[in-house]
Structure 1
Amino acid sequence: MSLPDGTPAFHAFLYADPAAHSLSPRMHRAAFAHAGLNGTYDALRVAPADLPGAVEALRRPGVLGANLSLPHKEAALPLLDSLSSAARAVGAVNTIVHRDGQLHGDNTDSPGLRDALYDAGYIWEEGAEVIVLGAGGAARAAVHALNCGQQNVTVVNRTLERAQAIAADWHAPDAHFQVTALPAHAAPWESAALVVNASSAGLNDPDQTPLDATFLTRLPARTLVYDMVYKPAETRLMREARAAGLNAENGLGMLAHQARLAFRAWTGADVPVSVFLNALTDLTDPGPAPAGSA
C-alpha cells in the first residue's frame, strides 16, 4: 500500500543512542516487503534529552510506532498513554504502538525470549530452576518471561543489591514459583535447567565473560546456556559452555522474535520469524550490539 503520489504509507523507527549498530532496519524492511506493505523503517540516534519530542512525533499520521533500545526503555514509560501488562511488570518498553493519536507501550523482549527458547529446544518443565545473569532491563524481561512460564528464577549479579531489587520488585503471578537473588557461589548450579546471560559482559570485549567457567562445570549436561548477546555470534560464555559439554545459543533468535511481535502489533501482519532471521544472513559486522537491544 502506498499513497497516491507513490510515497510510503507507513513509517516505523528505532530510537536508540547509539543506533548505528542496529539490525532492526534490515529485518523490518524485509517484513514490509513480505507483507506487501509499502513502509519504511529507520534507526535514529535519539539523545536522552530529545526523547520526549521524538516520542511525541510518533503521533503523526502514517507513523506506526517505534522500537526503543538503550537507553530509552525505562525513560519512555511516563511519556505514553497506556502500557501492556508485560511492560508494567518488566518496567520497560521496547515497542511503542501508535493508534489514532494514542501511544501504547509494550515489551516484546519478554515473549521474544520465550519463543527463542522454544526454538532452541528448551523444555518448559514446571518448577524448573533457571539462573539469570545481570540486573538491568534485559534481566527484568528475562525474569518476566521465565517466571510467568512457571520457572523458579535466581538472579545473579556482581552487585548483589541490584539483583535483590529485581527480586523485591517482582510480584509473581503464582506464589509457587519464586524469584530470588543470590551471589554466584550460592546459586543452584547443580539443578539449573537453563542459564540466561542478560548482562553486558562480552559486548565490547569478546574475551569477557559474565561467569567463571568453574560454575559451568557444575551444571547438569542437559542445561541450556542462552546468551542474549548476538554480536559476536559465538561469545566466550558460549565457547566455554560447549567445552563443558553444554548446549549454548546466542541471542539472534530473541532479536528476530521480538521484532516479529513488534511488527505484528504495528501492522496486524503475522510475518513468519524466518523472514526476520533470513534478513540477518551474510551480515557485515556493524560492531558490538547491546544485550537485548534491537
Structure 2
Amino acid sequence: MSLPDGTPAPRAFLFADPAAHSLSPQMHRAAFAHAGQPGTYEARRVPPADLAAAIAGLRAPGVLGANLSLPHKEAALPLLDSLSGAARAVGAVNTVVHRDGRLHGDNTDSPGLRDALSDAGYIWEQGAGVIVLGAGGAARAAVHALIRAQQNVTVVNRTLERAQAIAADWHDPDADVQVTALPAHAAPWESAALVVNASSAGLNDPDQTPLDAAFLTRLPAGTLVYDMVYKPAETRLMREARAAGLSAHNGLGMLAHQARLAFHAWTGADVPVRVFLDALTRAGAPAAAQGQDT
C-alpha cells in the first residue's frame, strides 16, 4: 500500500522515561512491513513534566497513537477523552488510539498476559488457583486478566496493605471467583496452578527474587511460573522454579502480544504474534520462554 506523493506516513510512538532501551520500534516496524502498510514508530523519552504536551500532540493529523510505559501509564488517564473497560479496571493505560482528534485509552497488558499464558501452555480451568506476586500496576493488569478468565487469585506482596487494596477493588461476594490478599506464608501454594511475578524483582538484578525458593517446593508438579520480566532472559525466580521441577517462562511473550493488540487497534491489521517475536529475536532479545518443557 502506498500513499500519494507528499503524504507523510502514519505515525505511532512510545512515550517513556527512559525510552532508548525499548524494543517496541523493532516490533512495530516489522508489523507495518508484514501488513503492507506505510507507517513509522518512534520511541521518545518524555519526562513526566512533558507528558501532557506529548499526549496533546497525538491529536495531530496522521498520528495513529502511542504506547505508554513507565512512568506514564497512570498519569495519562485524565488526559484522554475515553477509556476502555480494561483501562478503567486496571487504572492504567498503555495504548492510546487517535481517531478524528479524539484520544481513547486502552490497556493491552491485561489481554496480552492472557494470550502469553495460553502460548506458554497454561490450561484455563474455571476456578483454578493463581498467585500473583506484587501489588503495582503490572499486578493490577495481571489480576484483571485472571479474574476475567475465572481464576481465583491470591495477591502476595511484602507490603500486605497494598495487596489488600487490589483485592478490595475486585471484591465481589457474589462472584464465582475471588481475589484475596495474603502474606506469603499463608498463601495456598499447594493448590496453585499458576504463579505470576508482576513485581519488579529481578528486572535490574538477575540474582534478586520476589519469592523464597522454599515456597516453590510447595507448588504442585504441574504449576507454571510466569515471570513478567523478560530482560534478563533468566531470572533467579525462573532458575529456582526449574530446580523445583516446574515450568518457567519469561515475559517476552506478553511483550509481543500487548504490541500485537496495540498495532491492531491503530491500524485494523491483525498481524500474527510470530512477526513481533521474530523482530525481537532479530533485535537480540532472549527467547520468549524458558522452562523444562522447551
Give TM-score, length-normalised by structure 1. Answer: 0.94
Task: Name 1:292's counterpart in structure 2.
Answer: none
Task: Name 2:25's counterpart in structure 1.
Answer: 25
Q: Higher relative CO (CA 8 A, sep ≥ 6), structure 1 or 2?
A: 1
Q: Secondary structure at the match of 1:19?
A: coil
Counterpart residue identity of residue 37, structure 1: Q
Query: Is 1:109 aligned to residue 109 of structure 2?
Result: yes
Q: Secondary structure at the match of 2:40?
A: strand
Task: Name 2:289's counterpart in structure 1.
Answer: none
C-alpha separation in 1, matches of 2:201 and 2:251: 13
RMSD: 1.5
Query: Is 1:227 aligned to residue 246 of structure 2?
Result: no
C-alpha separation in 1, matches of 2:159 and 2:100: 43
Counterpart residue identity of residue 51, structure 1: L
C-alpha separation in 2, matches of 1:57 and 1:174: 44
C-alpha separation in 2, matches of 1:75 and 1:113: 22
Counterpart residue identity of residue 195, structure 1: V
Task: Name 1:57's counterpart in structure 2.
Answer: 57
Task: Name 2:213's counterpart in structure 1.
Answer: 213
CA contact (8 A) 1:2 1:9 kept: no
Structure 1: give runs of 5+ residues left out of the alignment. Answer: 287-294
Q: Secondary structure at the match of 1:130?
A: strand
- The count of residues paired between Structure 1 and Structure 2 equals 286
Q: Give the C-alpha shift of residue 38 in structure 1.
A: 1.1
Q: Give the C-alpha shift of residue 173 in structure 1.
A: 10
With 2-11 and 41-50 compared, the bigger mean Cα shift is at 2-11
C-alpha separation in 2, matches of 1:174 and 1:120: 31
Aligned runs of 1:77-116 on 2, under 5 Å? 77-116=77-116
C-alpha separation in 2, matches of 1:72 and 1:128: 33
Query: Is 1:200 aligned to residue 189 of structure 2?
Result: no
Q: Give the C-alpha shift of residue 282 in structure 1.
A: 3.9
CA contact (8 A) 1:148 1:173 kept: no
CA contact (8 A) 2:23 2:283 kept: no
* Gap change, CA 1:172 and 1:89, over 3 Å in 2: farther
CA contact (8 A) 2:26 2:283 kept: no
- What does the per-residue CA deviation read over 1:148-171, in whole Å, with 9 as the maximum and x for residues that have no partner? 100000000111111111111225
- What does the per-residue CA deviation read over 1:58-101, in whole Å, with 9 as the maximum and x for residues that have no partner? 00000000000001000000000000001001110000000000
Aligned runs of 1:147-162 on 2, under 5 Å? 147-162=147-162
Percentage identity across paired residues of the two chains = 87
C-alpha separation in 2, matches of 1:34 and 1:172: 43
Q: Give the C-alpha shift of residue 3 in structure 1.
A: 3.9
CA contact (8 A) 1:8 1:40 kept: no
Counterpart residue identity of residue 10, structure 1: P
Give TM-score, length-normalised by structure 2. Answer: 0.94
Task: Name 1:290's counterpart in structure 2.
Answer: none
Task: Name 2:118's counterpart in structure 1.
Answer: 118
With 266-275 and 170-179 compared, the bigger mean Cα shift is at 170-179
CA contact (8 A) 2:171 2:178 kept: no
C-alpha separation in 1, matches of 2:12 and 2:191: 43
C-alpha separation in 1, matches of 2:241 and 2:224: 9
